[in-house]
Amino acid sequence: MPTSKAAETLDPLDPVIARLYRFALSVTAEDYRGWALQQLQALIPHDGALWGSGSAAKLKFHTVTVTGLPPEFPQTLEATSKINPIVPEILKRLDTPVDMTSVMPDEAFFGSELYRKAFAPYGISRILSTGHLDPRTGMYSLLTLYRKDRNRPFTPLECERQQRATFHLIQAGSHAFFLHLAKARAEYPAGAAAAVIDHTGAFHEATVRFLDLLEEHFPQRPANGLPFAIPEPGTTAACGDLMIRCDTLGDLLLLVAWPAGPLDRLTAREREIVNCVAQGLSFKQAAKKIGVAPSTVANHLYRVYRKLGVYSRTELASLVHPQPQSPD
């Protein structure tokens, strides 16, 4: 059967990129990065790889995945970063692959202290790195591929493929992370968006929607930071016109943000009563369900009517949030 012109011009990287997104939920969150790096093997053969992400301000990875190399390799690399001339070149040429041969000639590299300490112990001879900085979060990502065969340098075509693949690895990795998180966590209001931070407020992951909400509601927010105090874990706070829910996520914090609706401004008790009334319960039934006196329900409902500017149960029911959904 003759090959179509479209098939002839298909970039072999396209199917790999498609798999990165399509199989986001088919691979566990813990294994996703390692699996994604393996997808590159057919197009950019390598003996080892490192994918790290962290704060650009600290230039220290908070998440790092290695394949084909011992788990202690990232620590070895970090310990020699000050004598590694490829590091400033990567930062200077963000989103552009940097080959060690363009930084140090082979003779200088293989005779260097850097090679003896960081790469010779692992048999590494060829290094190709691409760094990426997200200016909205201050998050830095690095993708490095390694080869052991000194006679097999990375080709210009492989550099082009790594440049394109790096962007999609980062985007697909974040996409997969939040898909798994949404699947495992409680649901949130419509229009909600999520981010993961540490206790200092530094971003570890963030959806585009979360960043869009910050910029929309806090146009003067500090660069790479949060424009509000982090709520206590397990609580929801109004921050301007946004509602921010904070929950623990291991050693980190999960923030979920959504535009404040009329009911978000009510107290927890008032929301309880509104939900009961919206379900069609009488004062007596609502009081029994919540565990208060019917007069308490009536008093709270009177205050709710005044706060929301409504005059009937029908109007109140129409303000109840639509069906909740997972954060974007």
Q: Is the pLDDT of residue 187 over 80?
A: no
Q: Report the pLDDT value the prediction gives residue 283, as an integer from 0 to 100.
A: 84
> What are 113's two structure tokens?
């202290």
What strand order describes the sheet that includes 203-206?
Answer: 203-206, 193-197, 252-259, 242-249, 235-239
What is the share, in percent, of the chain residues with pLDDT greater than 70?
94
| Mean pLDDT score, 279-299 | 86
> What are 231's two structure tokens?
């709520």
Q: Which of 207, 199, 197 lies closest to 173 in space, CA to CA?
A: 207
Q: Report the pLDDT value the prediction gives residue 228, as an integer from 0 to 100.
A: 93
63 and 125 belong to one structural domain = yes
| Mean pLDDT score, 207-218 | 94
163 and 29 belong to one structural domain = yes
Of 142, 160, 182, the residue that ends a domain is 182
Of 182, 210, 244, the residue that ends a domain is 182
Kindly report the CATH number assigned to the domain that includes residue 221.
3.40.1840
13 within 8 A of 40, measured Cβ to Cβ: no
Under 8 Å CB-to-CB from 92, ≥6 apart: which residues? none
274 and 215 belong to one structural domain = no
Under 8 Å CB-to-CB from 312, ≥6 apart: which residues? none
19 and 168 belong to one structural domain = yes
Q: How many structural domains compose the chain? A: 3
Specify the range with the lowest mean pLDDT, choosing from 208-217, 262-271, 282-291.
262-271
Instruction: Indicate whether 23 belongs to any domain.
Output: yes
Q: Within 13 Å, how many C-alpha atoms sit on residue 232's CB side? A: 1
Specify the range with the lowest mean pLDDT, choosing from 64-73, 78-87, 144-153, 287-296.
287-296
Q: Report the pLDDT value the prediction gives residue 328, as an integer from 0 to 100.
A: 62
111 and 248 belong to one structural domain = no
| Mean pLDDT score, 35-54 | 95
> What are 265's two structure tokens?
């401004």
Specify the range with the lowest mean pLDDT, choosing from 194-203, 257-266, 308-317.
308-317
Q: Is the pLDDT of residue 146 over 70?
A: yes
Q: Is the pLDDT of residue 324 over 70?
A: no
73 and 170 belong to one structural domain = yes
Kindly report the CATH number assigned to the domain that includes residue 309.
1.10.10.10
Q: Report the pLDDT value the prediction gives residue 309, as an integer from 0 to 100.
A: 78
Cα 323 from Cα 188, distance rounded (Å): 9
Q: Is the pLDDT of residue 8 over 60?
A: no
140 within 8 A of 59, measured Cβ to Cβ: yes
Instruction: Indicate whether 188 belongs to any domain.
Output: no
**pTM of this structure:** 0.80
Q: Report the pLDDT value the prediction gives residue 320, as an integer from 0 to 100.
A: 67
**Residue predicted with more confidence, 202 or 57:** 202
Kindly report the CATH number assigned to the domain that includes residue 9.
3.30.450.80
Query: pLDDT band for position 1 (50/70/90)?
Result: very low
Specify the range with the lowest mean pLDDT, choosing from 198-202, 263-267, 305-309.
263-267
256 and 292 belong to one structural domain = no
Cα 260 from Cα 252, distance rounded (Å): 25
269 and 127 belong to one structural domain = no
Q: Report the pLDDT value the prediction gives residue 297, as an integer from 0 to 100.
A: 85
Q: Report the pLDDT value the prediction gives residue 323, as an integer from 0 to 100.
A: 46
Instruction: Indicate whether 324 belongs to any domain.
Output: no
Of 260, 284, 310, the residue that ends a domain is 260
Count CB-CB contacts under 10 A for residue 205: 21
Instruction: Indicate whether 327 belongs to any domain.
Output: no
What is the share, in percent, of the chain residues with pLDDT greater than 90?
63
End-to-end CA distance of the chain: 44
Instruction: Indicate whether 292 belongs to any domain.
Output: yes
21 and 166 belong to one structural domain = yes
Q: Report the pLDDT value the prediction gives residue 71, as an integer from 0 to 100.
A: 94
76 and 162 belong to one structural domain = yes
Structural domain of residue 224, as residue ranges? 193-260
Residue found by looking up tokens 């303000």 in the block: 319
Q: What is the DSSP string of 119-164?
A: IGGGT--EEEEEEEEETTTTEEEEEEEEES-TT-PPPHHHHHHHHH
- Using left for φ > 0, alpha for ψ between -120 and 50, and beta otherwise, residue 310 falls in beta
Mean pLDDT of the chain: 89
Query: pLDDT band for position 284 (50/70/90)?
Result: confident
Count CB-CB contacts under 10 A for residue 41: 15
Residues 66-80: pLDDT tens digits? 999 999 999 999 999
Alpha helices in the chain (DSSP H): 5-9, 13-22, 32-39, 73-79, 86-92, 106-110, 113-114, 156-184, 208-217, 268-278, 283-290, 294-308, 313-318
Residue found by looking up tokens 């950019």 in the block: 44
Cα 159 from Cα 97, distance rounded (Å): 6
What strand order describes the sheet that includes 98-99?
Answer: 60-67, 48-55, 139-147, 126-134, 98-99
211 and 81 belong to one structural domain = no
Angle at CA 193, nearest 5°, toward 189 and 196? 125
Residue found by looking up tokens 């008093």 in the block: 299
169 within 8 A of 51, measured Cβ to Cβ: yes
Query: pLDDT band for position 214 (50/70/90)?
Result: very high
78 and 204 belong to one structural domain = no
Q: Report the pLDDT value the prediction gives residue 316, as an integer from 0 to 100.
A: 76
Return the SS3 of 44. Answer: coil
